[in-house]
Amino acid sequence: MKTIAAIAWNTFREAVRSRILYLILIFALLLMASSGIVRDLSIAAHDRVVRDFGLLCINLFGLAVAILVGIGSVYNELDKKSIYTIVSKPIARWQFLLGKYFGLLLTIYVIIFIMTVFFLMVLNYQDMTSEDALIQMMKERGLTELTTGVHLRHDAASAVKAAGKGFLNLVGVDLIGSTRHITTIVLLTALELAVVTAFAILYSSFSTPTLSAIFTLLTFVAGRLNESIWEYSQQILTGQAGAGVATVGGIVKHWLVVLAYMVTPNLGAFRVNTLDLADGAPLSIPWFTVPYGVLYAAMVLSLSIMIFRSRNFK
Amino acid sequence: MSAPKSAAHSRPGTFWSLFDRPGGWVFVAGALAAAAGAFYLQWLHVERYKETPWIDSFVLPQPKFVRRLAVGYDAMVADFLYLRAIQAFGGIYYRPTEEGQKYDPVFNYFDVILALDPHFIEAISFGSLVIGDEGKAWDLALKLLDTGQWNNWRRYVPWYEAAFLKIWDLKQPDRDARFFVRQATKAHDAPEWISHWESEIDQQAGQFTLALQRWIQTYAEGVAENKDYLAGMALNKIHPIVGEWHKKILQDALDKYRQEKGAWPQTLQQLADEGYLPPVDVVDPDALVELMETARAEGVDLRPLVGQLAAACMVKKSGVLPPYNPAVPDDRFALICMSDYDHPAVGLESARKSAAAAALEAYRAQINDYYQKNGRYPDSVEGWPAEAYGRPLCDPYCRGWEYNPQTGILRSKGDPDL
């Protein structure tokens, strides 16, 4: 365990030295900070647009980190021959791979954490300076129309207050409408990225960074469209039923598509039903979502370990 | 050994060193010209987009394909399309020409948006406003709302929007309208006032007694529950309902007259004189309001007395009602507003259309006559005396005429299709 932790910590330290990580982070934070522009473009659905925009940033940039940092993690060790120093020590290959995985995950989660806190601050700041807040303030002061001196504060004090509320929101305290389910959704994103990172490690264990990036991205897309693969398998059956003839070719095709459905990860499982968000009801997440994510990542990592064990480093 | 550089020369490799040689100036001028050209051409593109704000809605793939292309980021893609639909609406709204004000293509955006996120309530509401209320494409708006309703049956908005279109825009107080109102009322987030729309349906459907009873019921509940706004709203509805009731009586009489005589009567008096306005039972709204307020002042619980209240104020009326004069309180029972147009058909939708068509026909004949004589169309038809009538003809919709002196085309703003 100590060995894995040490490798993970080193992987994290190595990753945070990467400039690309900071570029991604700065870009993501800038985008989130500018979400007010998107908010102003909308009619009625202000909170929703900003929420979706921020969650998209967290998901996409988290994915970018998983791919850009994850794909080279194992390959670079082989390329720089530093793997020889590692494997010559009493470290098993599986420990090395798991250490890499958890190090990468730690990097991604730190990035996600920073993005989430910042996003919650932005949401709180926008809430504090919104039209609704102005109307509320007017109600409290018994005003029916705007007069001189009645305005919301766009200043450092408001920003600090929003920052404080952002941290509180993170632990489920002092939630407002727009921040209500953010933490849960981000946790699901983190689980999804755990599965994607496992794939990045898998591909990185036997392939070049470019190919690994392509494979990981394609796996992500296939995983997101997993539901469509199932629908296609059902369409084949429906088509056969409609024609009134069940051909062997059709049945084989159906089962091949079902197989494709089974082997691709169902990343849609980590998405939240928009009905829950629209209703403001508690999120209905199936109990098996978390075990599914953990087991799937474990399965992919096991496969990586098997491949990595049989690799010849010469 | 190279010659020492002039002090005026910039350090080699810097931006300013470009200007040390004539070629540098040419290069910079060329670059600026290229930039200006590129920006100008880009601006031409912007102008092109302005011309057709909805054009990209035609190239949107089918909703099921957009769902695939969104790769799980359905909500965000729906948001972006929603923002685009808002922009398209704005573009159309400010289009100066009538031809440019086509809202139907915006439906494509909303169709895709609801495929991506069927629970996007704001998009359902806004889409119905744009396509139905503004664009008058009622069938498309109701189609959009239908998708919204079955995916959000617990929310009041899709039902409410559909009821709004049916009652206020389409004026179709049918079973669908009633169903929409009832579904909206059942929703957990429905505002209290929605249930009162059933009274509006009854009123539009000609069920005036029922509509009155519903408002009396609302008044009684408002008084019992100390909801002054509710009681006040109900009280304000009594006169308009009775007014509509009168109009219906008059419309039936006019229709009967036209059916039997083949033409509209010239005046209301003629209609009455020829026996088309027999005595009928109607509620006296003043008496009803007075009775309701007296009962309230005396602390009587009106809820069990709803049916009796309307019956107690039933009176028989016949003949031509005097013009409405708000300065005379007792005169409020006269409800046919004829002050702006002296044709008896005013105020009645079917007859209004006929009156507008007749006025347009008279005007157009005179415009053509003018053209024959002068070789051009008149500059304006404002205050133009119509020979056949000896006075200007008013638009029965009270929205005025729309006249183009270049083409000589005259239309009624109230019904441009005429």
Yes or no, beta carbons of A42 and B86 under 8 Å apart: yes
Over residues B342-352, the mean pLDDT reads 49
Q: Which of B193, B302, B190, B207 is nearest to B248 (CA)?
A: B207
β-sheet bridge partners, residue B411? B402
- Residues in chain A with CB shorter than 8 Å from the CB of B188 are none
Determine the average pLDDT of the residues in B95-109: 72
| Those residues with Cβ within 8 angstroms of residue A167's Cβ, 6 or more apart along the chain or in another chain | A117, A120
- Sort out which chain B residues have CB atoms less than 8 A from A42's CB and list them: 79, 82-83, 86
Nearest CB to A52: which of B79, B118, B154?
B79
- Interchain CB contacts (distance < 8 Å): A and B: 66
Contacting residues of B for A195, CB less than 8 Å apart: none
Q: Minimal Cα distance from A229: which residue of B?
A: B68
Q: Which chain A residues contact residue B76 at CB under 8 A?
A: 52-53, 55-56
Specify if A258 maps to a domain.
no
Of A49, A220, A277, the CB nearest to B79: A49
Single-letter residue type at A132: D
Give the pair of three-digit tokens for residue A181. 């389910």
Report pLDDT digits (tens) over B225-278.
888 888 888 888 888 888 778 777 777 887 888 888 888 777 777 777 888 877
Q: Could you read off the pLDDT of B49-97 as tens digits, one per residue? A: 666 666 777 778 888 888 889 988 999 999 999 998 888 888 777 766 6
Taking the C-alpha atoms of residue A9 and residue A1, their distance in angstroms, rounded to an integer, is: 12
For residue B32 the two structure tokens come to: 């600026």
Distance from the B9 Cα atom to the nearest Cα atom in chain A, whole angstroms: 38
Residue A146's CB is within 10 A of a number of other CB atoms, namely 10
pLDDT at B200: 85
Report which listed range, A232-241, B300-309, B385-394, is most confident.
A232-241
**In the predicted model, is pLDDT for residue B333 greater than 50?**
no
Work out the minimum CA distance from A165 to partner chain B, whole angstroms. 25
Q: Which residues pair with B404 in a beta bridge?
A: B409
Q: Which member of B67, B68, B72 has the closest CB to residue A271?
A: B72
Mean pLDDT on B336-365: 57
Q: How many domains does chain A have?
A: 1
From B72's Cα to the closest Cα of chain A, the distance in A is: 6
Write out the two tokens for B356.
Answer: 């507008």
Best probe of the B interface among A46, A47, A49, by most B CBs < 10 A, is A49
Residue B222 has a pLDDT of: 86
Q: Is the pLDDT confidence value at A175 over 60? A: yes
Domain assignment present for A234: no
CB contact under 8 A, B120 and A278: yes
Buried b (16+ CB within 10 A) or exposed e, B369-383: ebeeeeeebbeebee
Chain A residue with the nearest C-alpha to that of B82: A42
The reply to whether residue B119 touches residue A41, judged by beta carbons under 8 angstroms, is no
Q: Write out the residues of chain B at the interface with chain A, using a CB-CB cutoff of 8 A.
A: 67-68, 71-76, 79, 82-83, 86-87, 117-123, 125-126, 151-152, 154-155
Domain range for residue A151? 2-224+265-309
Closest partner residue to B121 among A224, A268, A278, by Cβ? A278
What are the residue ranges spanned by the domains of chain B? 26-152, 207-339, 349-412
Q: Per residue, what are the HEC states of chain A? A: CHHHHHHHHHHHHHHCCCHHHHHHHHHHHHHHHCHHHHHHHCCCCHHHHHHHHHHHHHHHHHHHHHHHHHHHHHHHHHHCCHHHHHHCCCCCHHHHHHHHHHHHHHHHHHHHHHHHHHHHHHHHHHHHCCHHHHHHHHHHCCCCCCCCCCCCCCCHHHHHHHHHHHHHHHCCCCCCHHHCCHHHHHHHHHHHHHHHHHHHHHHHCCCCHHHHHHHHHHHHHHHHCHHHHHHHHHHHHHHHHHHCCCCHHHHHHHHHHHHHHHHCCCHHHHCCCHHHHHHCCCCCCCCCHHHHHHHHHHHHHHHHHHHHHCCCCC
Comparing CA positions, the residue from A9, A20, A128 lying closest to residue A66 is A20
For residue B124, give how far its alpha carbon lies from the nearest alpha carbon of chain A (Å).
11
Mutation site for A-interface testing, chosen from B86, B122, B133, B147 by largest number of A Cβ within 10 Å: B122
- Residue from the list B71, B87, B121 with its beta carbon closest to the beta carbon of A224: B71
Residue B7 scores a pLDDT above 80: no
pLDDT digits (tens, 9 = 90+) for A241-293: 777 777 888 889 889 999 999 989 999 888 887 766 766 677 788 889 899 99
Report the pLDDT value the prediction gives residue B95, as an integer from 0 to 100.
Answer: 67
**Residue A224: what pLDDT?**
92
The long-range contacts involving B140-143, CB below 8 angstroms and separated by at least 24 positions, are: B140/B104, B140/B107, B141/B165, B143/B107
Confidence of residue B345 (pLDDT cuts 50, 70, 90): very low
| Cβ contacts of A55 on chain B, cutoff 8 Å | 76
pLDDT tens digits, A109-120? 999 999 999 999
